[in-house]
Amino acid sequence: MDDIPSPLASDDRFFVYEAWNDTLRELVVGVGDGAPRAGLPPVVGHWRPEHGVSVKIVESLLPAEDALLFARLYGERCAAGDVRVYLDAP
């Protein structure tokens, strides 16, 4: 895992979340640091308030390199059939 460079601060802890749009069958897997965020990431700027969207934390308190790797692998695992997956991580 040392071969994956991390743009995140190494001493901080991060969480991995997923945001699911049931209307469009799209998923965002992202890494957060607990700082407040206004809305969803720009990659899903086409999502609308009337879409059925749910957000949940799937893993927490991970070091930076583990959070990035987990998010990438989790996103790959969720990409199946007609589900489009976006990654929101540095």
pLDDT tens per residue, range 44-86: 989 998 999 999 999 999 999 999 999 999 999 998 788 999 9
Nearest in space to 47 (alpha carbons), one of 72, 74, 71, 20: 20
Q: Which residue has the higher pLDDT, 7 or 37?
A: 37
Instruction: Write down the residue that tokens 């996103």 correspond to.
Output: 75
Whether 75 contacts 30, CB under 8 Å: no
pLDDT at 2 over 70: no
* Residue with the larger pLDDT of the pair 4 and 48: 48
Prediction pTM value: 0.80
pLDDT tens figures, 11-52: 689 999 999 999 999 999 999 987 777 777 888 989 998 999
Amino acid type, 30: G
